[in-house]
Structures are given as structure tokens and as C-alpha cells.
Amino acid sequence: MAAVDMEQLLAQITREIEPQIGTGSVADYIPALAAVDPGQFGIAVALPNGECYGAGDWTKPFSLQSISKLFTLALSLSENDEDIWWRVGREPSGNAFNSLVQLEYENGIPRNPFINAGALVVTDHLAGVVGDATEAVLDFLRTEAANPDIRCDEEVAASEEAHGDRNLALTHFLASYGNIHGDVRDIVRQYVRHCSIAINCRDLALAGLFLARHGIRRDGSRMLSHSHTKRINAVMLTCGTYDAAGEFAYRVGIPSKSGVGGGILAVVPERCSVAVWGPGLDRRGNSVAGVAALDRFTALTDWSVF
Ligand SMILES: NC(=O)CC[C@H](N)C(=O)O
């Protein structure tokens, strides 16, 4: 698709979903996120050659939140290290992202890396390899987006840590099964800090391009094998939008990972990565305007994995 077409397409999508912007409710269990103006919306598309197009508030930073789970998983697998799959599964949970109930009857092995329990285990695993999982994610995002200014929003991190009983409970519970190897408080802190990274749609789309390029990074080096990339995309499709993944696949049809900051990173293998942001969430925790925009994007381009 020619450059000018992509710009027109994104402007058209932004116009079409206008009635959805500002609907839904902002995440209020993290007080710093509750203060975000819900009437914002941005979309960016990055092409495999590195060109990037956007519309709306696409250069305005928002809280990465659960989308960071995608980067911790990719970084964990990047050493050709499959050990993580002994500690976390690959099945949709059918439960809320921060649910505790499944963990006990599944003996401390979280269903997948994209629910909080699974991401806490992945953070612990990555920390064991690289030392600090947050720094590893920041370094990756800065390099792929060519933006050294990407930072953790310390106010969001402090707010989340101050209201972090559930994540602490999950981590202690995982530790009781031997599925956390580091210090519980330190792992929760690293997890909260990579969730609290502030990023805009442009930088996020660029950082997600490796998934559209079968594991190749911005500088041409290979981060993941073709097969590992395909598998991450598969887990995104089946588990990336919490317990709405079935409906999301039906409506949108491309691998995606959402976060309660209202962002969604989506991938069309070989064609593009797309980042959308709208802070108003539906009851499952996915951005209302973001899902609507991706729905229009795949309908208008006819790009889908199906
Ligand atoms: N689904 C999300 O985006 C949740 C991430 C958030 N940091 C939490 O742990 O609750």
C-alpha cells in the first residue's frame, strides 16, 4: 500500500470510530491511570521497511501496562531459551488477567505468559538471565524505536506499587510452588516498572515490527527464530486480549496484545505492526476505541491471518 494511502486510511479510521472515542471506562484500580483523559485516541502503522504513519494522538505517551508482557516474553525466548515453557503454559485462561483462582488447582503453573501470574514468572525468568527485566525492556524499546527518551513513568509505578496487593499475593503464591526464584518484592517491583513504561503509538508500532519481520530487529540482526516469532504471534492471538481473545479473533483476526493503559499492539505478519491507543476500556480491559479501530483496519485492508 502506497504511503499516501496509509495516511488516508488512518485518517478515515480515526473519523469512522469517532463516536467510540471517550466511551468505556479508564482503569481505576491504578489511581494514576484513573486520572487520564479518556477522550484521546491515536493510531500508528509501521511497515517492514521502517516507514511509520499515524493519526490522532499518535505521538502522545501512554502507559504500556500489559503490552510489556509481550516484550518480556520475546526477550526471554531470544536466547533460544525454551526453559520458560516449563514454568508457564500456552492456553487461554478464560479468567480475568489478575485472577488468582486457577493457580492453586494448576499447581502454580500460570495458564499463559500474558496474564499477570504468567508475566510475573516470565519477569522472574528474565531477571535471572539479564539482571533487571525493566532495563532489558527499556533498552529494547529505545533501540527499536530509535528513541532514547522512552522512560518508566515513576508516578504510575509508585501508584501501582502502592495498590499492588494482588500482584504481591500472586507472586507469593507462585513462590510457594517454587515458581518464583528471585525475591518476591523485587520481582513485583520489576514487573510494575516495565508495565509503567510511557510510550507513544509511533514508538510502540516500531518496537513491534520484529514480530512482522519474522524475528528481525531494526538493525537487521535476528532476535528470534522464525519459529519462535510465529509462536509468540500464536500466543498473542489466543491469549493477548485477556478472556476476550475469542471475540477479538472473530472481530479483528490478527495477533494482538492489549494493556489497561488503553494501548493495543497488533501484528500482520510480513505486512505491518499497528499500535492503537484509547484509554476507555470495555469490561474485559481492552480499549473500546482501539478494538474498533483495529476492526476497521483489518476490514478495510483485508489483512488478517485467516
Ligand atoms: N492488564 C493489564 O494491563 C494489567 C497490568 C497491570 N500492571 C497489573 O498488573 O494489573
Question: CB count, 10 Å around CB of 259?
Answer: 28
CA distances from 196 to 156, 158, 173, 205, 282 (A): 6, 9, 23, 17, 20
Could you tell me the pLDDT band of residue 82, with boundaries at 50, 70 and 90?
A: confident
Question: In the chain, where are the structural domains located?
Answer: 3-301
pLDDT in tens, 236-263: 999 999 889 999 999 999 999 999 999 9
Interval between CA 259 and ligand 1 midpoint (Å): 7
pLDDT band of 91, cuts 50, 70, 90? very high
What is the band of 80 on the pLDDT scale with cuts at 50, 70, 90?
A: low
> How high is the pLDDT of residue 159?
95
- Do β-strands 197-199 and 256-258 pair in parallel, antiparallel, or remain unpaired? unpaired
The whole-number pLDDT of residue 140 equals 98
294 Cα–ligand 1 center, Å: 21
pLDDT tens for each residue of 94-110: 888 888 999 998 999 99
Portion of the chain with pLDDT greater than 70, in percent: 98
Long-range contacts of 55-58 (CB under 8 A, 24+ apart): 55/7, 55/10, 55/11, 55/13, 55/14, 56/14, 57/201, 57/277, 58/200, 58/201, 58/202, 58/275, 58/277
Q: How far apart are CA 63 and CA 33, in angstroms?
A: 8
How does pLDDT run across 138-187, given as a tens digit for each residue?
999 999 999 999 999 999 999 999 999 999 999 999 999 999 999 999 99
Average pLDDT, rounded, for the chain: 95
The predicted-structure confidence for 180-192, as pLDDT tens digits, reads as follows 999 999 999 999 9
110 C-beta closer than 6 A to ligand 1: no
- Point out the annotated binding site: 66, 116, 160, 167, 191, 242, 260
The mean-pLDDT minimum among 90-99, 105-114, 270-279 falls in 90-99
Q: What is the structure's pLDDT at 79?
A: 74
Q: What is the pLDDT of residues 220-240, one digit of tens each?
A: 999 999 999 999 999 999 999
Give the global pTM: 0.97
Residue of 32, 37, 34, 2 lying closest to 289 (CA atoms): 37
| 3-301: CATH architecture | 3-Layer(aba) Sandwich (3.40)
285 lines ligand 1 (CB under 6 A): yes
pLDDT band at 2 (very low <50, low <70, confident <90, very high): very low
The per-residue pLDDT for range 5-17, each reduced to its tens digit, is 899 999 999 999 9
ipTM, two decimals, is 0.95
- What number does the ligand 1 atom closest to the CA of 29 have? 10
* Region 189-212 average pLDDT: 98
36, 67, 98, 191: which to mutate for ligand 1, most atoms within 8 A of CB?
A: 98
Question: 230 alpha carbon to ligand 1 midpoint, in Å?
Answer: 25
The residue nearest atom 10 of ligand 1, judged by CA position, is 98
Which atom of ligand 1 lies at the shortest distance from residue 66's CA?
3
